[in-house]
Amino acid sequence: MIPFFKKKKKLPSASEKRGIKEDLFAKCEKCGALYYKKQLERELWVCPECGYHFRIPASKYVEYLLDEGTFIERIGENLYSTDPLKFPGYAKKLEGYYEKLKLNDAALCGIGHIEGIKVVLFVTDFKFLGGSMGSVYGEIFLRGTRRAVKEKIPFISLTTSGGGARMHEGIFSLMQMAKTVVGVVELNEANIPYISVVAHPTMGGVMASFASLGDIIIAEPGALLGFAGPRVIEQTIRQKLPEGFQTSEFLLEKGFLDEVVSRKELKKRLAYYLKHFGGSNG
């Protein structure tokens, strides 16, 4: 039998020919500069050439923001999604992420110190289903805020979420918008400071709930922040959107954000606000 197609043999790339391992390098998506990953690691994954902020996993943010060795207690680490809608392929996908990312959902939450000040830190991971918000994510958030209220310590969230609410859990995901807002209301009622850091991208139900409710809202430079994406808006309103619409810098100018802060300055800036709010060491 004659095969319908013939598999083309993959030709080696230039670096493969020279025997260079490709995974040692990373290319800047904005300016195209090529770096050793180790070099970028020292730069906190900010391009030294153009300032582009590479997307990094939740664990890296924990490492960059908290004092070394202080992130001991994890909140909600034993919670797993029950796949309430029996969404085709979802359970298998989750298994893959548990294995690969060593996370039980797209959110990582725990207690740690920033320049000696005790906080609850909630960070999301884009690699886990786009950092989308499902029922476990929402529950981890609420447990985190309640812990902050109980211990009277500030709460900080750092989000990267491309799609917002997780479609695989349908209405259960949408309900997390209300649930996380309840967490923020409880922080307010107890006079606990809440700082929201929004990184690229923070969209949909995440932006439309807790992420936009911080007492202070800080963005990383060049992040895409909004509800619906620019293409959807243009098609709906049939109008051309302004240049740079939905970027951190645009939203700062319009008064939606308090500050745009480079990742390299973020820890220092968070500590500044925490001290301003009256955070003490302990």
Contacts with Zn ion by CB under 5 A lie at: 28, 30-31, 33, 47, 49-50, 52
Report the nearest approach of Zn ion to the CB of residue 32 (Å): 7
Report the nearest approach of Zn ion to the CB of residue 229 (Å): 23
Name the CA dihedral angle for 164, 106, 264, 255, rounded to a multiple of 10 degrees.
Answer: 20
Please tell me what DSSP assigns to residue 231.
H
- Nearest-angstrom CA–CA distance, 8 and 15: 20
Report the nearest approach of Zn ion to the CB of residue 48 (Å): 8
Report the nearest approach of Zn ion to the CB of residue 52 (Å): 4
Contacting residues for 153 by C-beta, under 8 A, at least 6 apart:
111, 118, 119, 120, 192, 279
Q: How far is CA 182 from CA 138, 143, 144, 152, in A?
A: 11, 11, 12, 17
Q: How far is CA 152 from CA 14, 19, 107, in A?
A: 56, 55, 22
Output 54 or 141, the one with its CB closest to Zn ion: 54
